C-alpha cells in the first residue's frame, strides 16, 4: 500500500509498505479521509521520531475483521481514535483520561496518511465509533479536533453569558469560537497574526478580532465594556500570546492553555497577581471517549459547521503540498488527505 512518510515538514515522501496483517481482535480499515492537524507540523514534536507515518484524524471503512470482533461488520463507516484510555486507572476514574499512561502509548498502525490502517484490539474496544449517515467522511475528520475542544471548554467551565478571548484562529481556534458561541458566550474576541484567519474568525462567529501585533490586553478592554474577559483560550504556542493572555483575563477568570510553547520555553507567571485576583491557569490535552461522542453529536446536529472550514483536499501523493499549506499557516484552514486517490 502507499503511505506518506514524514521526514520533516519539507520532506514528506510517497512510499510503499505492506498492508498490515490483523489478529483476532483487530480491524483493518481503509482510510477514506485524514485531516492534517496543526500538531502534525510541529517539527520540534515530530521530527525526533521521524521517519514515520503521521495522521490521527481519520475516517474510513472496515474491510477486514478479526474472528473475535463482533461489534462491527465489513463496510461499516467509522471514525477511529488513535489514542485510547484504559478506563480503569486512577486517572481515568477521576475523569483525567488524557493523563492515562495507556492513552499516551496507544495508536493505530501505521498512521492516517496511509491507504489502510490496522486498529489494535484496545482501540477496537475503546476507540472505534460508527459514523452517522449524516456525517461525511471529510466532516468526520473534525471529530478528533472538536472532541479536544469540547474537553477543553468543559474543563474551563464554559457557560452562558461569559466573555471569551480566543488567541489563535487556526482550526482549533475556529472550533473554539463556534463551540463557545453554541454554549452561550456573550462576547467572543479572536486574535491571530494572519488577516485571512481573522476574517475566518468573524465568519465562524467571533464578535470582534484583534491583530496579534496590537496591544491585545488594551484592545480587549475596549471591546469588552472596559474590562478583561472571563475566559482566555490559548490556541497558539507563541510565547507572546501566553503573556498577553494573563494580562487579558478578569478577576475570578480562567486562562486555558489549549496549546503551549515548546518544551524549553518557560512562561513567566505573576503568581502574586493571580493569587490576589483568584485567576485560574489550566491546561487541556487531547480527548476522551465521551468527548468524542460529544463531537459526533455536535457535528451531526449541525450545531458546529465544519464543512465550510475545509479549504483544501489532496490525494496521498500530494500530502507534501498539504503539509506545506498547514505549516505556512496562511491561506488555508482545514487540509484533508484522501488516501484512496
Tell me which of 3.40.50.300, 3.90.180.10, 3.20.20.70, 3.60.150.10 is the CATH number of domain 2-147+287-338: 3.90.180.10
Three-state SS annotation for the chain: CEEEEEEECCEEEEEECCCCCCCCCCEEEEEEEEECCHHHHCHHHHHHHCCECCCCEEEEEEEEECCCCCCCCCCCEEEECCCCCCCCCHHHHCCCHHHCHHHHHCCCECCCCECEEEECHHHHHHHEEECCCCCCHHHHCCHHHHHHHHHHHHHCCCCCCCEEEEECCCHHHHHHHHHHHHCCCCEEEEEECCHHHHHHHHHCCCCEEEECCCCHHHHHHHHCCCCCEEEEEECCCCHHHHHHHHHHEEEEEEEEECCCCCCCCCCCCCHHHHHHHCCEEEECCCCCHHHHHHHHHHHHCCCCCCHHHEEEEEEHHHHHHHHHHHHHCCCCCEEEEECCC
Cell of 301: 446536529
Residue 254's pLDDT band, with cuts at 50, 70 and 90, is: very high
pLDDT digits (tens, 9 = 90+) for 82-128: 999 999 999 999 999 999 999 999 999 999 999 999 999 999 999 99
pTM greater than 0.85:
yes
Task: Enumerate the domain spans of the chain.
Answer: 2-147+287-338, 157-283
- pLDDT tens figures, 28-43: 999 999 999 999 998 8
Say how many C-beta atoms besides its own lie within 10 A of residue 250's C-beta: 19
pLDDT in tens, 162-206: 999 999 999 999 999 999 999 999 999 999 999 999 999 999 999
- Would the pLDDT of 45 be above 90? no
Question: At the fourth CATH level, which superfamily is domain 157-283?
Answer: NAD(P)-binding Rossmann-like Domain (3.40.50.720)
Amino acid at each position: 500500500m502507499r503511505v506518506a512518510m514524514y521526514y520533516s515538514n519539507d520532506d514528506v515522501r510517497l512510499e510503499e509498505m505492506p498492508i498490515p496483517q490483523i489478529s483476532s481482535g483487530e480491524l483493518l480499515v481503509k482510510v477514506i479521509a485524514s485531516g492534517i492537524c496543526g500538531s502534525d507540523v510541529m517539527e520540534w514534536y515530530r521530527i525526533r521520531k521521524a521517519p514515520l507515518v503521521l495522521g490521527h484524524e481519520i475516517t474510513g471503512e472496515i474491510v477486514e475483521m478479526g474472528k473475535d470482533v463482533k461489534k462491527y461488520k465489513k463496510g461499516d463507516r467509522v471514525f477511529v481514535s488513535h489514542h485510547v484510555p484504559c478506563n480503569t486507572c486512577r486517572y481515568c476514574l477521576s475523569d483525567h483520561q488524557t493523563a492515562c499512561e495507556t492513552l499516551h502509548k496507544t495508536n493505530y498502525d501505521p498512521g492516517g496518511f496511509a491507504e489502510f490502517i490496522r486498529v489494535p484490539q484496545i482501540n477496537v474496544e475503546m476507540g472505534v465509533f460508527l459514523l452517522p449517515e449524516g456525517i461525511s467522511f471529510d466532516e468526520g475528520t473534525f471529530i478528533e479536533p472538536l472532541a479536544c475542544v469540547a474537553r477543553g471548554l468543559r474543563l474551563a467551565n464554559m457557560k452562558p453569558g461569559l466573555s471569551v478571548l480566543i488567541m489563535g484562529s487556526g482550526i482549533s481556534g475556529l472550533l473554539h469560537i463556534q463551540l463557545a458561541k453554541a454554549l452561550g458566550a456573550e462576547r467572543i474576541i479572536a486574535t491571530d497574526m494572519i488577516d485571512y484567519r481573522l476574517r475566518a474568525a468573524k465568519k465562524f462567529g467571533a464578535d470582534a478580532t484583534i491583530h496579534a501585533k496590537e496591544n491585545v490586553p488594551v484592545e480587549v478592554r475596549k471591546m469588552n465594556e472596559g474590562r478583561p474577559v472571563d475566559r482566555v483560550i490559548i490556541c497558539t504556542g507563541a510565547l507572546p500570546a501566553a503573556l498577553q493572555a494573563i494580562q487579558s483575563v478578569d478577576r475570578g477568570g480562567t486562562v486555558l492553555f489549549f496549546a503551549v510553547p515548546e518544551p524549553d520555553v518557560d512562561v513567566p507567571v505573576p503568581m502574586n497577581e493571580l493569587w490576589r485576583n483568584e485567576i485560574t491557569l489550566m491546561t487541556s490535552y487531547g480527548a476522551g471517549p465521551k468527548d468524542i461522542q460529544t463531537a459526533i453529536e455536535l457535528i451531526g446536529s449541525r450545531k458546529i459547521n465544519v464543512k465550510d472550514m475545509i479549504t483544501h483536499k489532496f490525494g496521498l501523493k500530494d500530502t507534501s503540498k498539504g503539509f506545506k499549506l498547514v505549516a505556512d499557516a496562511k491561506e488555508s484552514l482545514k487540509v484533508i488527505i484522501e488516501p484512496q486517490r
